[in-house]
């Protein structure tokens, strides 16, 4: 048996090297003796050699940071020469064909700052096992294709840990000597160990129930720290809505008698779908009107739904290996998006998704961490819980649904569950189920699983007046810098706008015109589609609803965009046309800044914005989205070399110029949208608040005392976090005494409330104010700052490094140095979060020479750090390669 020698570079694992395990584990009996200094874990595993494994093959179990106390087979202690304990494994020579392996190990949850395995949060015990955390709890075959039935006994001090939870059903509880007690939990469903969970602590429960369509009553329990018990109602409602929706939409019913959610304050990610016992970052559970914003409420609804939907897409049917992660994540994100769209406004939801994809995923896909949605290799799996696997993965599922139609997609999903319930499978199995259920060929489509980068679709339209025909030519080009990529199967949803509005479409091979959208299937390098009976030269509305995760390249005049912005029946495309126009305007302004020309905001653009503000057909949320200028990161992606300062100056100028031009209508909107009663989380109210805060943002940007006063008043008088956070953000950007006093008041009121205090840090970190860097430096030394709490670290440093392009990429390099310092400080304790943070340096080659040099120097400094974790090492090495 070989172990990596200390100091050897960590080796990548390749998808092509997948092999079935030599042994499998069918039953797992665990006993946890939870203690203040250490925890003892007793494990009895029913192990079986696979039929094609040669007799005598060693059993190699994974294990990390475990102190082995005992090892026995079928009740007999194993002689020392029958096993080898390595730093990450326990190898047992020739264990037999079927046997019970017993181990006893000691672990130290108190010292576990990585928050992977069994750890402590706010004095309670909790676990996080995905991707490879179970091996930090006991020796095991820690891979998702080993599925077992679990029975778990949790023992602890009764006074400190009155609540003892694990997966499945509670089958026994009782008292033990010395003030201790226990609970036994049995999970009837076989599961991979990454879905194991345990919680012990002093928690309160907000409960409810759900009656399934086959009339079973499921008990729902949301467990939180005692102070938070009044913040659980929204999470429970969201869970009930998700359960109903999955029955109605996909025919999927919940399968246990109890569903538990536990909110914890220290968590590396958003939440975890452990079977029957989800563990959540408190941020995605707790909400009260005065502590959570409308966006927080939406985030909770979607994450609660996401984890619930995993019960079928992830748990009942799981992944064969971690390369298949998008099988469960892309699909589950897709399902939670469909759900959110159904719960609120589909257009608003879609715009949010696409904005996120373009800002974050497109950037990842064109940088050093670019990978296919099904990666070919990894060094640290935790680094591959990415926006590509999740969000682009969801787009790929969405394209299949577009190609198959809603009913065809449902047929495919049904077949997938029918074939694979209880199995660990691959992305190819999923695609095969969709194809077989519909009798279609998705072979070419499968390339989306292996391609890297954002493909480009070019479009050209020719109108033949004499023939009254419009020919649309679509051409696919490989992602930039990736020539030779294979041709993809790309659904392009298209509409045509005539002078009087949308046209009923008739492709030349069709017999009659119908509908105003067609999904064109682009499979060749170049294809032409001819529309008949087109009365006049139309404007094409392309990629409606963002039907494929591609970059669209098409020559369109500003006037064409303005027409789409005004008249496209697809609300997403109207927004998209507006953003394209805004992008052009801002990039031209940035050019003017660089050339030292006088700045003036395009009049047509101002007029288009004024029309949106006054458009009766648009709800407040859509108006706010349409009137929010593209962010600086998005603009930078359009440039050869990101012009950090010019983009910032251009955008700031445009905001102020728009505010000046639209001052009166903005003021009118602000007045007309004043609240008429206490906070309510309802669609119309959310729309109203969105529009009102958009107007306030522009008005405060004018910097005039009257407008600043509006923000101060709103901050002081509002009864809800949505309005007070928005006002505070604008005051922070404005600066001056108003900022200082609002920040002080906010801190005084909320400093004992971690989730709210996170906002206080984050708002300061993303500020456009020129003194932001110095303030962030000071905040990193603030007594309330805690680098080891992931939410707090992200709220200050993640927000600064990943969202504040202008300040992080200061030319003097101080922003870079700050983030690099914190990466180095955090890495020895929590490499997962440190790796997320160091990704801020990934786009370094996109900047000018001075900034490149500054970032490269920081990357090299990090790379030179002795003992760097493999998580950070992988990111930094790829960035420098």
Question: Which residues are annotated as catalytic?
Answer: 307
Q: Does 324 bind ligand 0A1 (CB under 6 A)?
A: no
Closest CB 280 distance from Zn ion, rounded Å = 12
Nearer to Zn ion (CB atom), residue 231 or residue 275: 275
Whether the Cβ atoms of residue 319 and residue 425 lie closer than 8 Å to each other: yes
Whether the Cβ atoms of residue 75 and residue 790 lie closer than 8 Å to each other: no
Total residues found in the chain within this entry: 881
Nearer to Zn ion (CB atom), residue 128 or residue 764: 128
| Assigned token pair, 581 | 């126009």
Who's near 785: CB < 8 A, 6+ residues apart?
Answer: 761, 779, 792, 796
Closest CB 868 distance from Zn ion, rounded Å = 28
Q: Does 114 bind ligand 0A1 (CB under 6 A)?
A: no
366 binds, among Zn ion, ligand 0A1, none (CB under 5 to 8 A by kind): none
382 binds, among ligand 0A1, Zn ion, none (CB under 5 to 8 A by kind): ligand 0A1
Closest CB 115 distance from Zn ion, rounded Å = 17
Nearer to ligand 0A1 (CB atom), residue 461 or residue 798: 798
The DSSP secondary-structure symbol of 777 reads: H
Stretch 268-307: interaction string toward ligand 0A1, x if CB under 6 A: xxxxxx--------------------------------xx
Residue 776: which of 812, 738, 817, 716 has the closest Cα? 817
The DSSP secondary-structure symbol of 367 reads: S
Q: Tell me the three state secondary structure of residue 767.
A: coil
Task: Evaluate the CA torsion angle 680, 221, 286, 253 in order and state its sign.
Answer: negative
Give the Cα separation of 198 and 193 in Å (integer).
12
272 binds, among Zn ion, ligand 0A1, none (CB under 5 to 8 A by kind): ligand 0A1
Nearer to Zn ion (CB atom), residue 374 or residue 846: 374
- Continuous H helices in 596-643: 603-614, 620-626, 632-637
The DSSP secondary-structure symbol of 845 reads: G
Q: Does 130 bind ligand 0A1 (CB under 6 A)?
A: yes
Nearer to Zn ion (CB atom), residue 152 or residue 195: 195
385 binds, among Zn ion, ligand 0A1, none (CB under 5 to 8 A by kind): ligand 0A1
Whether the Cβ atoms of residue 587 and residue 637 lie closer than 8 Å to each other: no
CB-closest chain residue to ligand 0A1: 269
Stretch 234-273: interaction string toward ligand 0A1, x if CB under 6 A: ----------------------------------xxxxxx
The DSSP secondary-structure symbol of 514 reads: B
Nearer to ligand 0A1 (CB atom), residue 222 or residue 644: 222
Q: Which residues are near Zn ion by CB under 5 A?
A: 329, 332
Residue 140: which of 115, 107, 187 has the closest Cα? 107
Q: Tell me the three state secondary structure of residue 3.
A: coil
Whether the Cβ atoms of residue 65 and residue 41 lie closer than 8 Å to each other: no
Tell me, rounded to whole angstroms, the distance of Cα 350 from its chain centroid. 15
Whether the Cβ atoms of residue 711 and residue 731 lie closer than 8 Å to each other: yes
Closest CB 128 distance from ligand 0A1, rounded Å = 5
Who's near 508: CB < 8 A, 6+ residues apart?
Answer: 469, 530, 531, 532
Closest CB 665 distance from ligand 0A1, rounded Å = 42
Of 91-99, 127-135, 155-163, 842-850, the window that binds ligand 0A1 (rule: CB under 6 A) is 127-135
**What is the CB-side half-sphere exposure of residue 520 using CA atoms within 13 A?**
31
Q: Does 182 bind ligand 0A1 (CB under 6 A)?
A: no
Give the Cα separation of 806 and 632 in Å (integer).
8
- Nearest 5°: the CA angle 703, 707, 708 is 65
Closest CB 389 distance from ligand 0A1, rounded Å = 10
Nearer to ligand 0A1 (CB atom), residue 304 or residue 710: 304
| Assigned token pair, 423 | 């199995």
Give the Cα separation of 236 and 226 in Å (integer).
17
Of 125-133, 455-463, 732-740, 757-765, the window that binds ligand 0A1 (rule: CB under 6 A) is 125-133
Q: Does 842 bind ligand 0A1 (CB under 6 A)?
A: no
Nearer to Zn ion (CB atom), residue 182 or residue 449: 449
Nearer to Zn ion (CB atom), residue 194 or residue 730: 194
130 binds, among ligand 0A1, Zn ion, none (CB under 5 to 8 A by kind): ligand 0A1
Other CB atoms within a 10 A radius of the CB of residue 734 amount to: 21
Closest CB 556 distance from Zn ion, rounded Å = 37
Q: Does 128 bind ligand 0A1 (CB under 6 A)?
A: yes
Q: Does 382 bind ligand 0A1 (CB under 6 A)?
A: yes
270 binds, among ligand 0A1, Zn ion, none (CB under 5 to 8 A by kind): ligand 0A1
Who's near 185: CB < 8 A, 6+ residues apart?
Answer: 151, 152, 153, 154, 165, 166, 167, 168, 169, 170, 171
**Residue 674: φ, ψ to 5°:** -65, 145
Closest CB 540 distance from ligand 0A1, rounded Å = 37
Closest CB 194 distance from ligand 0A1, rounded Å = 8
Whether the Cβ atoms of residue 715 and residue 742 lie closer than 8 Å to each other: yes
The position carrying tokens 């303030």 is 775
Q: Does 385 bind ligand 0A1 (CB under 6 A)?
A: yes
Nearer to Zn ion (CB atom), residue 306 or residue 556: 306
The DSSP secondary-structure symbol of 543 reads: S
776 binds, among ligand 0A1, Zn ion, none (CB under 5 to 8 A by kind): none
Closest CB 20 distance from ligand 0A1, rounded Å = 23
Q: Does 326 bind ligand 0A1 (CB under 6 A)?
A: no
| Assigned token pair, 186 | 């049995």
Q: Does 329 bind ligand 0A1 (CB under 6 A)?
A: yes
**Do the strands 424-425 and 318-319 form a parallel or antiparallel pair, or are they unpaired?**
parallel
Q: Does 318 bind ligand 0A1 (CB under 6 A)?
A: no
Closest CB 116 distance from ligand 0A1, rounded Å = 6
Nearer to ligand 0A1 (CB atom), residue 131 or residue 472: 131
Nearer to Zn ion (CB atom), residue 332 or residue 724: 332
Residue 540: which of 521, 512, 567, 508 has the closest Cα? 567
Of 9-17, 128-136, 148-156, 812-820, the window that binds ligand 0A1 (rule: CB under 6 A) is 128-136
Per-residue b or e along 678-689, where b marks 16 or more CB atoms closer than 10 Å to that residue's CB: ebebeeebbbbb
Give the Cα separation of 360 and 337 in Å (integer).
17
Closest CB 302 distance from Zn ion, rounded Å = 11
Closest CB 252 distance from ligand 0A1, rounded Å = 17
Diameter of the chain measured on Cα atoms: 94
The DSSP secondary-structure symbol of 317 reads: B
Give the Cα separation of 675 and 422 in Å (integer).
51
155 binds, among ligand 0A1, Zn ion, none (CB under 5 to 8 A by kind): none
Nearer to ligand 0A1 (CB atom), residue 235 or residue 437: 235
Give the Cα separation of 825 and 793 in Å (integer).
11
Other CB atoms within a 10 A radius of the CB of residue 89 amount to: 16
Residues near ligand 0A1 (CB under 6 A): 128, 130-131, 268-273, 306-307, 329, 382, 385
């Amino acid at each position: 048996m070989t172990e990596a020698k200390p100091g050897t570079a960590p080796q990548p694992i390749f998808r092509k090297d997948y092999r079935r395990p030599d042994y499998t584990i069918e039953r797992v009996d665990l006993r946890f003796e939870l203690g203040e200094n250490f925890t003892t874990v007793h494990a009895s595993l029913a192990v079986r050699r696979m039929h094609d494994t040669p007799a005598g093959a060693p059993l190699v179990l994974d294990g990390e940071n475990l102190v082995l106390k005992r090892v026995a087979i079928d009740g007999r202690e194993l002689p020392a020469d029958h096993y080898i304990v390595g730093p990450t494994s326990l190898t047992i020579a020739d264990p037999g064909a079927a046997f019970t392996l017993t181990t006893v190990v000691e672990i130290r949850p108190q010292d576990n700052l990585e928050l992977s395995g069994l750890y402590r949060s706010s004095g309670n015990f909790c676990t996080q096992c995905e991707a490879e955390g179970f091996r930090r709890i006991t020796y095991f075959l820690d891979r998702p294709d080993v599925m077992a039935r679990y029975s778990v006994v949790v023992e602890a001090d009764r006074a400190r840990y009155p609540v003892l939870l694990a997966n499945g059903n509670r089958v026994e509880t009782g008292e033990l000597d010395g003030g201790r007690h226990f609970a036994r939990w049995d999970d009837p469903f076989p599961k991979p160990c990454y879905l194991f969970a345990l919680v012990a602590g002093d928690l309160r429960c907000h409960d409810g129930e759900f009656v399934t369509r086959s009339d079973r009553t499921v008990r729902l329990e949301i467990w939180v720290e005692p102070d938070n018990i009044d913040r659980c109602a929204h999470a429970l409602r969201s869970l009930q809505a998700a359960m109903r929706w999955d029955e109605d939409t996909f025919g999927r019913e919940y399968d246990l008698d109890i569903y538990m959610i536990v909110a914890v304050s220290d968590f590396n990610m958003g939440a975890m779908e452990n079977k029957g016992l989800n563990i959540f970052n408190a941020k995605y559970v707790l909400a009260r009107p005065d502590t959570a914003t409308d966006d927080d409420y939406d985030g909770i609804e979607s994450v609660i739904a996401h984890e619930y939907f995993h019960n079928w897409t992830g748990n009942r049917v799981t992944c064969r290996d971690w390369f298949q992660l998008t099988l469960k994540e892309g699909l589950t994100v897709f399902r939670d998006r469909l759900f959110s769209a159904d719960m609120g406004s589909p257009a608003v939801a879609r715009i949010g998704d696409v904005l996120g994809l373009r800002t974050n995923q497109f950037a990842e896909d064109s940088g050093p961490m670019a990978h296919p949605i099904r990666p070919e290799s990894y060094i640290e799996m935790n680094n591959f819980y990415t926006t590509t696997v999740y969000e682009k993965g969801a787009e790929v599922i969405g394209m299949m649904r577009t190609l198959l139609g809603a009913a065809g997609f449902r047929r495919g999903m049904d077949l997938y569950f029918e074939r694979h319930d209880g199995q660990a499978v691959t992305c190819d199995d999923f695609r095969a189920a969709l194809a077989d259920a519909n009798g279609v060929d998705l072979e070419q489509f499968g390339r989306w699983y292996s391609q890297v980068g954002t493909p480009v679709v070019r479009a050209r339209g020719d109108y033949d007046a004499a023939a009254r025909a419009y020919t649309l030519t679509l051409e696919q080009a490989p992602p930039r810098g990736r020539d030779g990529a294979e041709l993809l199967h790309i659904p392009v949803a298209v509409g045509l706008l005539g002078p009087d509005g949308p046209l009923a479409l008739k492709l030349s091979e069709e017999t009659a015109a119908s509908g105003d959208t067609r999904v064109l299937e682009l499979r060749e390098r170049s294809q032409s589609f001819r529309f008949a009976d087109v009365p006049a030269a139309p404007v094409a509305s392309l990629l409606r609803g963002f039907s494929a995760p591609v970059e669209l390249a098409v020559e369109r005049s500003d006037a064409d965009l303005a027409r789409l912005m005004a008249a496209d029946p697809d609300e997403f495309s109207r927004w998209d046309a507006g953003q394209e126009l805004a992008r052009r305007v801002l990039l031209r302004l940035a050019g003017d800044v660089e050339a030292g020309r006088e700045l003036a905001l395009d009049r047509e653009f101002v007029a288009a914005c004024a029309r949106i503000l006054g458009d009766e057909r648009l709800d407040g949320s859509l108006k706010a989205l349409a009137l929010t200028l593209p962010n600086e990161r998005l603009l930078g992606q359009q440039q050869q070399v990101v012009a950090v300062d010019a983009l910032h100056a251009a955008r700031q100028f445009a905001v102020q110029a728009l505010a000046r031009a639209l001052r009166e209508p903005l003021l009118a909107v602000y007045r007309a949208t004043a609240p008429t009663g206490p906070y309510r989380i309802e669609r119309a109210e959310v729309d109203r608040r969105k529009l009102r805060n958009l107007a306030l943002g522009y008005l405060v940007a004018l910097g005039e005392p009257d407008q600043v006063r509006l923000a101060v008043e709103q901050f002081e008088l509002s009864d809800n976090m949505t309005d007070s956070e928005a006002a505070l953000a604008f005051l922070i950007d404005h600066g001056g005494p108003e900022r200082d006093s609002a920040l002080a008041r906010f801190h005084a009121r909320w400093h004992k409330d971690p989730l709210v205090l996170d906002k206080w840090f984050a708002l300061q970190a993303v500020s456009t104010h020129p003194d932001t860097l110095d303030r962030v430096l000071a905040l990193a030394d603030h007594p309330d700052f805690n680098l080891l709490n992931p939410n707090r670290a992200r709220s200050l440093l993640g927000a600064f490094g990943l969202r504040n392009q202008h300040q992080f990429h200061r030319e003097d390099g101080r922003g870079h140095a700050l983030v690099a310092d914190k990466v180095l400080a955090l890495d020895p304790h929590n490499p997962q979060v440190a790796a997320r943070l160091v990704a801020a340096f990934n786009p370094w080659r996109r900047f000018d020479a001075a900034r490149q040099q500054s970032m490269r120097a920081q990357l090299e400094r990090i790379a030179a750090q002795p003992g760097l974790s493999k998580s950070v090492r992988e990111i930094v090495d790829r960035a420098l390669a």
